[in-house]
């Protein structure tokens, strides 16, 4: 009968017998195949991580602004962002996205109705004119004790996004040695800034206290609101180099380097791992950047199944 036939001319009975035999054979040595698959998978993961590490290290060292005697600056007190100069809908979208990015990275957030902003996102068609008027009205207080020449350079240098940071430094425990940190150009310090009495290498830390991000609206042609929000998020929650050398890293930070349509739609896995590692490594350790690289690589090339990963 036609119904009794299957592929290759086997009857249903013969096909069932062959399936049963295969199942029986597989059950004879449970775990053998799984163990082999597991070891191959881990070997592949380890190889991918090893190959990726130099690129991630270059991205971290080329992006982060780090003074020679302190670690990377980050927010250690609750952040209160505000957005001005956009439509209400666009401003609310960016605020919501910044909150989402902060929660994902572990950035401390103030309440929804916080009263004292410390992250200002300001969009204008005339950044120089706006900043000079705002600076005079505030008696330049938002620039701290920076020299006027530095302030002028910030105002007068055309950029799609001008970013100004204020920060404060806090020292580590009392130390027995204080030596300048040594590093290869753009590399990770090899000599600790200070050595704690317990023998652990520690250093002073730097906390962000104010971030002013001025968006030049004349540069936004072709840029989506999602791209802009995520680009701002990277600069709002980490102190980055103005002219970062990102190499071939897949990142939203290259948004204004190329055609926006060819840039990522938002934060990439590298960007998310970068922010997450900044807020989940020891800021007092002189090896923080090395720890960031390791954590980023492990997150980018995960050994966990997709459904068990958290974002």
The total number of residues written for the chain in this structure: 311
pLDDT tens across 19-45, in order?
444 444 444 444 443 444 555 488 888
For residues 65 and 250, the answer to whether their CB atoms sit within 8 Å is no
Q: What is the DSSP string of 139-155?
A: TTGGGTT--HHHHHHHH
For residues 195 and 177, the answer to whether their CB atoms sit within 8 Å is yes
Q: CA of 114: how far to CAs of 96, 109, 217, in Å?
A: 14, 10, 27
Specify the pLDDT at position 65: 86
Please give the model's pTM, rounded to 2 decimal places: 0.76
Q: What is the rounded (10 degree) CA torsion for 275, 279, 285, 290? A: -30
Specify the pLDDT at position 242: 80
- Taking the chain (311 residues) in runs of 10, the rounded mean pLDDT of each run is 42 49 44 45 87 91 80 92 96 96 96 90 96 88 89 94 91 30 29 37 82 96 96 96 79 88 92 96 88 94 59 43
Sheet containing 205-216: give its strands across: 81-84, 119-124, 205-216, 161-170
Q: Where are the domains of the chain?
A: 48-179+188-304
Specify the pLDDT at position 202: 63
pLDDT tens across 162-196, in order?
999 999 887 543 222 222 222 222 333 322 333 33
Specify the pLDDT at position 23: 41
């Amino acid at each position: 009968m036609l119904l009794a036939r299957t592929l290759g001319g086997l009857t249903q009975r013969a096909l069932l017998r062959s399936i049963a035999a295969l199942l029986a054979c597989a059950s004879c040595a449970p775990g053998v195949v799984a163990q082999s698959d597991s070891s191959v998978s881990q070997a592949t993961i380890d190889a991918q991580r090893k190959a990726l590490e130099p690129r991630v290290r270059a991205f971290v060292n080329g992006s982060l602004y780090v003074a020679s005697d302190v670690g990377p600056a980050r927010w250690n007190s609750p952040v209160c962002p505000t957005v001005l100069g956009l439509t209400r809908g666009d401003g609310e979208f960016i605020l919501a996205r910044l909150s989402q990015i902060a929660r994902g990275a572990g950035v401390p957030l103030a309440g929804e109705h916080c009263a004292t902003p410390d992250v200002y996102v300001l969009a204008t068609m005339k950044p120089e004119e706006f900043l000079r008027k705002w600076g005079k009205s505030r008696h330049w207080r938002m620039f701290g004790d920076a020299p006027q020449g530095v302030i002028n350079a910030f105002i007068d240098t055309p950029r799609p996004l001008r970013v100004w940071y204020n920060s404060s430094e806090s020292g580590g425990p009392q130390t027995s040695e204080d030596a300048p940190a040594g590093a290869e150009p753009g590399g990770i310090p090899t000599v600790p800034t200070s050595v704690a009495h317990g023998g652990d290498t520690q250093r002073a830390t730097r906390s962000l206290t104010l971030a002013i991000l001025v968006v030049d609206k004349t540069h936004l042609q072709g840029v989506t609101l999602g791209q802009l929000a995520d680009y701002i998020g990277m600069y709002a929650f980490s102190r980055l180099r103005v002219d970062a050398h990102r190499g071939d890293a897949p990142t939203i930070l290259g948004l204004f380097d190329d055609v926006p349509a060819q840039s990522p739609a938002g934060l990439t896995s590298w960007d998310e791992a970068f922010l997450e590692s900044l807020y989940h490594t020891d800021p007092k350790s002189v090896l923080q950047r090395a720890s960031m690289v390791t954590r980023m690589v492990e997150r980018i090339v995960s050994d966990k199944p997709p459904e068990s990963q958290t974002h």
